[in-house]
Amino acid sequence: MSENIAPNSELDLDEWLAMGERTVHNVNLYARFDLIAEIDALEAQKQPVEEVPEGDEALGGNSDPNAAIDAEIDELKMRIHASKRIFRVTSLTDAEIAGIRETVLTECSEEIDKQAELGKNEARKTAARMEVKTPADVNALVRLNVNEFTRKFIERESRLRIIAASTTLMNKGQLVSLDLEQARTLYEKLGEAQMRLLADANARATQDIPEVTVPKS
């Protein structure tokens, strides 16, 4: 029976913090999910397989007409698996996240203004289509669109920078940090769904306390 370890009432805080690390989650990303389309196409080519009565196997009745297709599918799945890379996502503090958002507002102010202008133009087109002519109603529509266009840009840009700031990966045996341009390239190449895995991992690492269980001896 394992003994309960009593808390150290004379904790050396500096020594204890020296070994401290933030919460980290591993995330698997795949570069070749495009091969899913080829797998789906092969699956669609499969022939129905009839059940063979027991005892007919010796007569060759159990030959699989889909064996070649299954082999191709297995090879494609192996290629997808080989494209996997493991990314390590570390928690960020609220202050760090707030700093990233402030940086976006400062560094991307011109692009935010462009998004606001796009929102205005789209709102006016919508008002014309809907035959909304009252100035107050048109202005309300403009405000809604400007807020929506700028909010989406700020959130997307902040998310990319949060991912870059919190993500590392192994390269030649060493952990290296993801930079902003690499995060952009990941977003463009792999798409929204896989990037959301990194963002969600950061949110979990930042907000959730992992459950700690003591293994039984």
- DSSP annotation of 63: -
Q: Which pLDDT score, from 0 to 100, does residue 63 have?
A: 79
| CA angle, residues 98, 103, 107, in degrees to nearest 5 | 160
Q: Which residues of 159-187 are buried (b: 16+ CB within 10 A; e: fewer)?
A: bbbbbbbbbebeeeeeeeebeeebbeebb
Amino acid (1-letter code) at residue 123: A
Q: Which pLDDT score, from 0 to 100, does residue 55 have?
A: 57
Q: Which pLDDT score, from 0 to 100, does residue 215 have?
A: 87
Q: Which pLDDT score, from 0 to 100, does residue 9 have?
A: 61
pTM here?
0.82
Cα 186 from Cα 29, distance rounded (Å):
10
The answer to whether 30 touches 80, Cβ cutoff 8 Å, is yes
Residues in the chain with pLDDT < 50? Answer: 1-3, 5
Q: Which pLDDT score, from 0 to 100, does residue 8 have?
A: 54
Q: Which pLDDT score, from 0 to 100, does residue 49 have?
A: 79
Q: Environment class of residue 198 by beta-carbon count within 10 Å: exposed (0-12), middle (13-18) or buried (19+)?
A: buried
Cα 148 from Cα 152, distance rounded (Å):
6
pLDDT one-digit tens code per residue, 143-163 = 999 999 999 999 999 999 999
Q: Which pLDDT score, from 0 to 100, does residue 50 have?
A: 75
The answer to whether 46 touches 90, Cβ cutoff 8 Å, is no
Q: Which pLDDT score, from 0 to 100, does residue 99 have?
A: 98
Amino acid (1-letter code) at residue 5: I
Q: Which pLDDT score, from 0 to 100, does residue 48 have?
A: 87
Cα 93 from Cα 147, distance rounded (Å):
27
Q: Which pLDDT score, from 0 to 100, does residue 165 have?
A: 97
Domain ranges of the chain: 30-44+65-84, 89-209
Q: Which pLDDT score, from 0 to 100, does residue 53 have?
A: 64
User: Under the phi-then-psi rule, with left for phi > 0, alpha for psi from -120 to 50, and beta for the rest, what region is 60?
Assistant: left
Over 3-49, what HEC string results? CCCCCCCCCCHHHHHHCCCCCEEEEEEECCCCHHHHHHHHHHCCCCC
